Structure 1
Amino acid sequence: MKRILLTTAICASLPLAAHAEDILIRADLSAATVFAAGADVTRVGAVAIPAGRHRLLIAMPDMDAAELPQITGPEGVRFGPPQPVYGHPIEEGALDNAAQSAARSALEVAEDAVAEAQDALTEATAAIRSIETQQAYIAAILRGGENGVAMPEDLTQVPLFLATLGAETERLAAEMLTAQIVRRDFAEALSDAQQDFADAARTFQALTPFGTQINVFAIDVTTADPIEADVALEYFTRNAAWRPSYELDLDTDTGTLAIDRFVTLQTYGAARWNDVEVVFSTSDPQRSRVPSELSSIPARLIDPAQDERAEALGRVAEGAAFADALPAPAANGIVQLGFGNVAMGGVVRSPVITAEFTGLSVSYLYPELVSVAASGDVLLAFDTLELAVETENRAVPRWDETAFLVAMVENDTGEPILPGGARFYRDGALMGEGSLPLIAMGAEAEMAFGALDHLQLTWTDRSLAEGDRGLFVSSNTQSRGIAFGVENTGAEAETVRILYATPFAEQEDLELDLTLSPRPSEEDIDDQRGIHGWDIEVASGEEEIIEMTVDFEFPDGQILDWQP
């Protein structure tokens, strides 16, 4: 196989040579490797090339989106570089495929039916006008007068005259009724024909047929012998992307987590994807492959009196120091439940997906040919992963009203679980929507599966309770008493893990005496200083309370910054 690669910018500058024959073909999308942004796509078309030099014209509905085009063909054929040609004229229907040809024929039949129905309606209308003219003449006779018709002078002829007028009036009325019925039927037939034509037109346009002016890649081809074969045009396009999404269902009875995986394929532009072999890849061809370059940055002193930039630099330094002093957000690693935008409807099948690894990248070959509707996106079912989980009832009484069910998993699937939108179910009930982070192979993760309403949390600042010792504050001391816990209103005993951020001191001048009853089961969880945990068994109908007292002592003139 031979390849030729040139950018369209270079190709556009090359002159077109004389050719013995132009060979026009259509090459539909047949395969694509889709990245998070962009895709490598392949168009394939059959061609018969006579011996000699010719110009191959490949129809390109997405010409402007094609980057780095490559032409591949059989041995023995020499291909020149692809050159873009815009507005090439063709005969109507010259590049129709079987479906488009059938739809075009159906549209033409529907158009003829509309014309026939319109002609029939016109004839029926003309018949009514003829009857109306005759009725007008009879009416003029009956009116008499200056413009009317005189009665016969022979009185014996009057009855015959009147009988004739009456018979004609009756005949015309009957003919009018029949003509109106015929016209009504033809009007309904025309309406039906117009609806059929509109349906046929929509069906035809949905197949995106080529017009009579198209864009093509023009390629010089030379062969010593006539040949019939397929040619492939490969290029990169930015008009495609994919993203994963998930439905996670936690079975609390079996301790398993089923992860249904989905992929949304999005396409843009004029290219149409019909029966395409698709590979979804985590590679990023647009990612920078070159490290950043450094240049020397000397440090200099600036005299504030001579350079007004000194004041601005001082403000920047103060702002940076303030930002560094802000507390970092808690990183508990739990997948939060929110209400995002995750589209999952209408997918019922789960095909077998094959994952292939290339370095750190993963490629998934979809086992079925993929077609994308005119909307530009399609939701594809991938497969279902099953993970064993450990669960805990996690309680944060300082901020929450109930405990939450948290599942802890290890990704032992042999492949990474990619980040994406997700819906979370607990025993089949929807708990909410959110997102999954990247879970690498062998990595552990925590996922929250909603509130546990039977585990009610309490938090009380006893320092402020009426009749208690109260909040004791002096110029250099402060004492606080806090109580927090959980009440089990369910029918069965539950084990609850209570988490609380207790105070600690990092300054030598601040002395702190902390008392916890009972003592925590684990201290400084995940190396987060002051965050302690209690694993407590709570019987049905019972409440377990943890008491915390803390005494602070600090120098006069200082202000204590702490909230329980």
Structure 2
Amino acid sequence: MRYSFSLLALLSASAAWADTIPVSSKVTEVTMYPDSAAITRVASFAIPAGKHRLELQGVPETAMLELLRIDLTGARQISTIYRDEYAPPRDFTDPRVETAEARIDEIEQRIQAVKDDAMRAGLKGAAADVSIGFLRQLGKNEGLADAGPDALRDIARMISLEAETASQAALDASISARQIERQLLDLEDELRIAEQALEAIDLESEDRVYIAVEVEADAASDGTIVLNYLDGGRNSWSPAYDLKLETGDIPQLSIERGAFVRQGTGENWTDITLHLSTVAPISQVEPSVLYTRSRRIEEPLPEPPESEMGAYYEPVVEPVVIVEEAASMWNVEADGAGVTYSYGAPVSISSGADMLRLELDVLTEPGTLLARAVPMLDNTAYRVMRFINMSGEELLNAEYAARYIDGKLIGIDRFSGLAAGEEGEIGFGSIDGLQIRRDTLGQSEGGRGLISRSNQQVQKVEIEIENLTDQVWPLQVRDRVPYSQQEDLQITWSATPRPTEEDLDKRRGILAWDLEMAPGENRKIQLETTLSWPEGMVLQ
């Protein structure tokens, strides 16, 4: 339980309140964060002079009451009472729900009427069966033996006619029963659809908190209450991107930005003003504390005598050194106070069900289109668009970003985001006509043959690139050679042609060749690596 007492320590409990006035509030504005939502509710009231208790209805239990703030006009605010237990249930008056419930009631009445018809048809069939049974017994009556031919003829005719009538009634009853059964099946399907329609509308939970504001007015007045609070329910928004590459003489990148919005407050939002913010209020807001760390050295433990090497020794338990670490494991990246996007039209989002996509804007960035090949892992080159984010704002990372080339979808992948002014790259699928092969021409292991004082490994690799497309491609080829931080492990390598760049992006051993591949051109790269290490050592 979070709150079950007055903020003024029950001082208001002894006051003489004129009356309690229920006040219905409505969500009017929401700022969505990646992990929560700041909500504004507005309620209007009319009160006579005196002291009153205004009960604010409709606030879901996911509201963080610790952060709730109330602005009041039209009266003086004296105290506020919060309660999340024994709160009255929500008073739902959505006309859509009332219409759906009326529809369900009407279908249920029709089902009951059909069931009544089925019962009447069953009674008629039963009565016909009784009549047929009676007529059969009548034909077996021994008293008919003394009747004359004319009387027997009349009786037989009567039994035949009556039996035919009863049999027809039984058949009609059976036909009616089958028709009624089909009607019931149709009505049950109709009822199920109506119930599903109600569930799709009535998504709100029954759980609400109790908030009462005790006010005083010198004269009768109309007023307004504005509630602002943070909601920690399942509320979130995330960026959505359509990355579109237009090829041609001057390649151009269009970034169509949108946002996925979902809320789980327990109440539906209707025609609200929506803002999207990159700030994360529930995450870390203060820098981590860096604690001191003490190190020490000790003399090594004495070696046991050789005569006792095989004996059992109690393990030496070293004293435990306790080093205090920062308690939080959060990794926070922030750029000032963040960015806020405001949507220009009213928005409605149902709780717990709707995934709403809103379109934001389109950014157009010039860039450089190139091909990149990683022969060790891929057998084709890939399109890469290199550009600088000139939008003046951060492009947020997104789990999914669709990629298009000249209007055609070619794939979907993660987008890692880009700061304002930062250079970035976006991949746009493989170039099947730029074929890559990486072959190991020879590899020798040391420790054999003529090598006696050291171990050695030699590897020769050939990379072959062939441009089967009808255009010139600026191509960057990336490969690697091993590196060592040990003096005893010597690594040398040679490449023909020499790479354009070594230790690319400050990653040791990564090599890059910048090539210009004309249509139909075939080129090769030769790479030889030699590793040498002392005898008796093992290469890892």
Shorter chain as denominator, the TM-score bin is 0.7 to 0.9
Counterpart in the other structure of 1:208: 202
Counterpart in the other structure of 2:154: 160
Question: Is 2:98 the counterpart of 1:101?
Answer: yes
Question: Is 2:476 the counterpart of 1:497?
Answer: yes
* Cα distance in 2, alignment partners of residues 415 and 237 from structure 1: 27
**Matched-pair contact (CA < 8 Å) for 1:54–1:222:** yes
Counterpart in the other structure of 2:328: none
Question: Is 2:362 the counterpart of 1:384?
Answer: yes
* Cα distance in 2, alignment partners of residues 115 and 375 from structure 1: 34
**TM-score, normalised on structure 1?**
0.76
Give the secondary structure class of the aligned counterpart of 2:269. Answer: coil
Question: Is 2:266 the counterpart of 1:267?
Answer: no
Counterpart in the other structure of 2:228: 234
State the shift of 1:199 in Å.
3.1
* Cα distance in 1, alignment partners of residues 536 and 483 from structure 2: 17
State the shift of 1:281 in Å.
0.8
Q: Per-residue CA shift, 1:413-439, capped at 9, x if unaligned?
A: 121100112233334444433211130
Moved more, 240-249 or 65-74: 65-74
Q: Per-residue CA shift, 1:145-183, capped at 9, x if unaligned?
A: 6xxx75664554222222222222222233334444444
1:121 to 110, 118, 123: 118
**Matched-pair contact (CA < 8 Å) for 1:87–1:213:** no
Give the secondary structure class of the aligned counterpart of 2:348. Answer: coil
* Cα distance in 1, alignment partners of residues 135 and 499 from structure 2: 112
Question: Is 2:359 the counterpart of 1:361?
Answer: no
List runs of 5+ in structure 2 lacking aligned partners.
Answer: 302-313, 324-333
**Matched-pair contact (CA < 8 Å) for 1:400–1:457:** yes
Question: Is 2:190 the counterpart of 1:196?
Answer: yes
* Cα distance in 2, alignment partners of residues 27 and 213 from structure 1: 16
Give the secondary structure class of the aligned counterpart of 1:233. Answer: strand
* Cα distance in 2, alignment partners of residues 210 and 101 from structure 1: 14
**Is the alpha carbon distance of 1:171 and 1:183 closer, same or farther for their aligned partners in structure 2, counting shifts above 3 Å?**
same
What amino acid maps onto 2:128 in structure 1? I
State the shift of 1:104 in Å.
3.0
Give the secondary structure class of the aligned counterpart of 1:376. Answer: coil
Give the secondary structure class of the aligned counterpart of 2:477. Answer: strand
State the shift of 1:238 in Å.
1.3
**Is the alpha carbon distance of 1:144 and 1:312 closer, same or farther for their aligned partners in structure 2, counting shifts above 3 Å?**
farther
State the shift of 1:364 in Å.
1.1
**Is the alpha carbon distance of 1:296 and 1:445 closer, same or farther for their aligned partners in structure 2, counting shifts above 3 Å?**
closer
* Cα distance in 2, alignment partners of residues 297 and 511 from structure 1: 36
* Cα distance in 1, alignment partners of residues 115 and 86 from structure 2: 36
State the shift of 1:440 in Å.
0.6
* Cα distance in 2, alignment partners of residues 227 and 113 from structure 1: 50
Q: Per-residue CA shift, 1:333-357, capped at 9, x if unaligned?
A: xxxxxxxxxxxxxxxxxxxxxxxx9
State the shift of 1:443 in Å.
0.6
1:296-307 matches, within 5 Å, as: 297-301=293-297
2:254 to 247, 252, 258: 258
What amino acid maps onto 1:537 in structure 2? E
Q: Per-residue CA shift, 1:492-539, capped at 9, x if unaligned?
A: 443322233356776667777654433333444434455443332333
Counterpart in the other structure of 2:70: 71
* Cα distance in 1, alignment partners of residues 483 and 129 from structure 2: 104
**Matched-pair contact (CA < 8 Å) for 1:135–1:169:** yes
RMSD: 3.9
* Cα distance in 2, alignment partners of residues 242 and 212 from structure 1: 25
**Is the alpha carbon distance of 1:412 and 1:214 closer, same or farther for their aligned partners in structure 2, counting shifts above 3 Å?**
closer
**Matched-pair contact (CA < 8 Å) for 1:419–1:437:** yes
**Matched-pair contact (CA < 8 Å) for 1:114–1:197:** no
* Cα distance in 1, alignment partners of residues 231 and 6 from structure 2: 17
* Cα distance in 1, alignment partners of residues 485 and 114 from structure 2: 92
**Matched-pair contact (CA < 8 Å) for 2:479–2:510:** yes
**TM-score, normalised on structure 2?**
0.79
* Cα distance in 1, alignment partners of residues 486 and 293 from structure 2: 36
**Matched-pair contact (CA < 8 Å) for 1:501–1:531:** yes
Moved more, 507-516 or 132-141: 507-516
Counterpart in the other structure of 1:279: 275
2:389 to 411, 423, 426: 411
Give the secondary structure class of the aligned counterpart of 1:385. Answer: strand
**Is the alpha carbon distance of 1:99 and 1:229 closer, same or farther for their aligned partners in structure 2, counting shifts above 3 Å?**
farther
What amino acid maps onto 1:104 in structure 2? E
Moved more, 362-371 or 420-429: 420-429
Counterpart in the other structure of 1:80: 79
* Cα distance in 2, alignment partners of residues 196 and 551 from structure 1: 78
What amino acid maps onto 2:418 in structure 1? I
**Is the alpha carbon distance of 1:472 and 1:541 closer, same or farther for their aligned partners in structure 2, counting shifts above 3 Å?**
farther
Question: Is 2:498 the counterpart of 1:519?
Answer: yes
1:399-548 matches, within 5 Å, as: 399-421=377-399, 422-464=401-443, 475-476=453-454, 481-502=460-481, 515-548=494-527
Counterpart in the other structure of 1:341: none
Give the secondary structure class of the aligned counterpart of 1:361. Answer: coil
Question: Is 2:139 the counterpart of 1:142?
Answer: yes
Question: Is 2:163 the counterpart of 1:172?
Answer: no
Counterpart in the other structure of 1:327: none
**Matched-pair contact (CA < 8 Å) for 1:501–1:532:** yes
* Cα distance in 1, alignment partners of residues 206 and 35 from structure 2: 32
**Paired residues, number:** 504
What amino acid maps onto 1:454 in structure 2? G
